């Protein structure tokens, strides 16, 4: 059975900015930036899993919506899916990450070109740039 990791493309529609989170572990990706999220548990929907993960990792609430881009195969049996999300709580805090930052389309493009994103998440950059345009 396939396991799914969901990640949040949290976008502020007013400022057209996307929230990125800097990974603290494991060493291969520590220091790189990702869309925050985590594994879907048995019996959980993707949206509710993402809302739970964001409460745990960022101490805030989101409303998760439609899928962004295509699913990425992390390894056989493990897929990564991004969902668009809207902040619905207090400002996010880095409870599980090294740091958080809001980026606009230009900054996202520059970070991707510089290899500052977690490899799996770079597949979504074109889709994310479209949402931030």
Maximum distance among all Cα pairs of the chain, rounded to whole angstroms? 40
Looking at beta carbons only, is 14 or 92 nearer to ligand DCM? 92
- Tell me the three-class secondary structure of 65-109, residue by residue: EEEEEEEEEEECCEEEEEEEEEECCCCCCCCCCCEEEEECHHHHH
Smallest distance from ligand DCM to CB 32, Å:
9
- Give 14 or 86: the residue with its C-beta nearer to ligand DCM: 86
- Identify which of 31, 40, 30, 34 has the alpha carbon closest to the alpha carbon of residue 18: 34
For residue 67, what are the contacts with CB-CB under 8 A and spacing of at least 6?
Answer: 81, 82, 83, 84
For residue 104, the minimal CB distance to ligand DCM (Å) is 19
Residues in 36-95 that interact with ligand DCM by CB under 6 A? 37-39, 74, 80
The window from 10-18, 42-50, 104-112, 114-122 that contacts ligand DCM (CB under 6 A) reads 114-122
Out of 18, 19, 34, 49, name the contact with ligand DCM by CB under 6 A.
34
Report the interface residues with ligand DCM, using CB under 6 A. Answer: 5, 7, 34-35, 37-39, 74, 80, 118, 120-121
């Amino acid at each position: 059975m396939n396991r799914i990791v969901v990640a949040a493309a949290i976008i502020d529609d007013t400022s057209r900015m996307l929230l990125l989170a800097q990974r603290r572990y494991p060493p291969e990706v520590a220091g790189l930036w990702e869309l925050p999220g985590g594994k879907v548990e048995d019996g959980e929907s993707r949206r509710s899993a993402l809302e739970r993960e964001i409460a745990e990792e960022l101490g805030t609430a989101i409303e998760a919506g439609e899928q962004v881009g295509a699913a990425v195969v992390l390894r056989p049996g493990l897929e990564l899916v991004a969902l668009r999300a809207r902040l619905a709580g207090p400002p996010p805090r880095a409870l599980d990450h090294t740091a958080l930052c809001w980026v606009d389309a230009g900054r996202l493009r520059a970070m991707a070109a510089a290899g500052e994103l977690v490899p799996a998440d770079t597949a979504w950059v074109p889709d994310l740039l479209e949402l931030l345009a």
